[in-house]
Amino acid sequence: MTSYDPLYDPDRDAHVGVPQLQQAIDRARKVLAEKSPANIHDRDAMIRAAYSLHYVLHDLIAALDAERGEQS
Query: What's the number of domains the chain is made of?
Result: 1
Domain that includes residue 58, residue range: 21-67
pLDDT digits (tens, 9 = 90+) for 9-37: 777 766 678 999 999 999 999 999 999 99
pLDDT digits (tens, 9 = 90+) for 27-69: 999 999 999 999 999 999 999 999 999 999 999 999 999 999 9
Kindly state whether residue 3 falls inside one of the protein's structural domains.
no
SS3 content of the chain, % helix, strand, coil (to 5): 55, 0, 45
CB atoms within 10 A of CB 62: 19
Residue 56 CA to residue 30 CA, distance in Å, equals: 10
Its pTM stands at 0.76
CA dihedral sign of residues 18, 24, 30, 32: positive
Kindly state whether residue 51 falls inside one of the protein's structural domains.
yes
Kindly state whether residue 72 falls inside one of the protein's structural domains.
no
Cβ atoms of 28 and 56 within 8 Å: the answer is yes
pLDDT at 6 (0 to 100): 76
